[in-house]
Each structure stands twice: as C-alpha cells, then as structure tokens.
C-alpha cells in the first residue's frame, strides 16, 4: 500500500522554510481504465508526483499539452517520484527532463493526498506542489524526453480557465481530466491566495 510519509513532508518544509500544508481529495472514477493504469504505476515505481508551476521571466506560467490529449487541453506539468527518490531532487530532474530548463524553488505549496476510488477499490497517490522560477536552459529544446508537444504561457487568471477546461472534459478522458483539474486548480488557488 502507498502510504503517506509525514516526516518527508516535514523535511521538505524545513528545508524550504514553509509550514506543512496538505489537502485530502477524493476522486471517484467512472470507468476502470485510468484507475487500473494508476494502480499499476504505483505498484511498479511511482509513489507520487511533483507538480511544477514554472514562472517565466515575463511572469507568465508554463502550461503543457501532449499530442494524445484532447484538442485545446493544457495543464500544469508534472513528473513521477520513484520509490526512495528525494522529492526536491525529483522536481529539478523532472523540470529538466520535461521542459529542458533550470529552475529554483520559489515556494512549496503543499501536498495533495489523493484517494482515487473506483467501485469498491481505492488507491492513494501524492502530488507535491512547487512554484518555481525559470533560471536558464532552452525551453523544450533541451528537454530529454519528448512527452510535451506544446506549451502555452498563461496568466494566473488564465490558469483558472485552463483548470476549468480540465474539469469539464467528457468521454474517455473525463477521469484523467478530474485528476489534472485537481493538481492544476490547486496551483491556481495557491497563486491567487499569494497574489502572484
């Protein structure tokens, strides 16, 4: 079972000088396909993810899409945390791999403790939320994986619209959209509360 490590959260907060903050979320899935995909991923090598909101020098936020996503759908980028991997190191690794840029941590916005439910089953997953400042590198050009097909820079208000679109996806992507709404909207709410 994928259990939450509170000591790890406290270590991150101490290192980054923030108060511990976590939010419990339940996401109920309609069909089993995404639930089973997440379950297999957790069983294999992914205990959670880093959610990385990158602020560009122009104060806009990087959102991403992939070629297989529904048309017009973007989200805040994320990357997996492997078992035994340091979470802060994971955020730097994933930002470099996914976006090809170097960053510094501006703030830690907490963790979403997500309970995915389908029928009478559930799995736990943890999304660690980071606000980052872009420091260098060449966006997408220096990325070592090719998952991201396009970026869109948005303002904080526009990020709320991006989140809304995720929450309203219908069809086979609707369960995934609920998950990505939770992470993108958590970043949006944090940025609004801090008046970015």
In this structure, what is the dihedral angle of CA atoms 35, 90, 51, 43, given to the nearest 10 degrees?
A: 10
| pTM attached to this predicted model | 0.96
Angle 183-187-192 from CA coordinates, rounded to 5° = 145
**pLDDT given at position 2:** 86
Can you tell me the mean pLDDT for 73-90?
A: 96
Beta strands in the chain (DSSP E): 22-28, 48-55, 61-65, 78-81, 101-118, 121-137, 150-154
d(CA 50, CA 157): 22
Determine contact, residues 75/61, Cβ cutoff 8 Å. Answer: no
Domain range 30-193, CATH class:
alpha beta
pLDDT on residue 195: 84
- DSSP code of residue 144: S
Q: What are the pLDDT digits (tens) for 41-70? A: 999 989 999 999 999 999 999 999 999 999
Cα–Cα distance between 150 and 132 in angstroms, integer?
A: 19
Q: pLDDT-derived band of residue 145, with 50, 70 and 90 as boundaries?
A: confident
- CA separation for the pair 170, 165 (Å, rounded): 10
Phi then psi dihedrals of residue 97, to 5 deg: -65, -50
């Amino acid at each position: 079972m994928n259990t939450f490590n509170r000591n790890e959260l406290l270590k991150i907060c101490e290192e980054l000088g923030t108060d511990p903050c976590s939010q419990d979320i339940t996401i109920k899935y309609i069909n089993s396909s995404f639930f089973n995909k997440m379950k297999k991923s957790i069983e294999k090598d992914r205990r959670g993810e880093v959610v990385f909101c990158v602020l560009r020098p122009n104060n806009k936020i990087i959102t991403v899409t992939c070629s297989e996503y529904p048309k017009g759908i973007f989200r805040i980028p994320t990357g997996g945390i492997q078992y035994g991997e340091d979470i802060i190191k994971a955020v730097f690794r994933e930002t470099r791999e996914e976006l090809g840029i170097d960053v510094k941590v501006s703030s830690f916005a907490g963790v979403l403790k997500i309970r995915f439910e389908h029928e009478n089953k559930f799995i736990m997953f943890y999304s660690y939320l980071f606000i980052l400042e872009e420091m260098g590198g060449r966006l997408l050009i220096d990325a070592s994986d090719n998952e991201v097909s396009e970026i869109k820079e948005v303002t904080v208000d526009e990020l709320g619209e991006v989140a809304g679109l995720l929450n309203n996806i219908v069809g086979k992507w609707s369960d995934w959209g609920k998950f990505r709404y939770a992470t993108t909207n958590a970043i949006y709410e944090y940025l609004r509360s801090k008046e970015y």
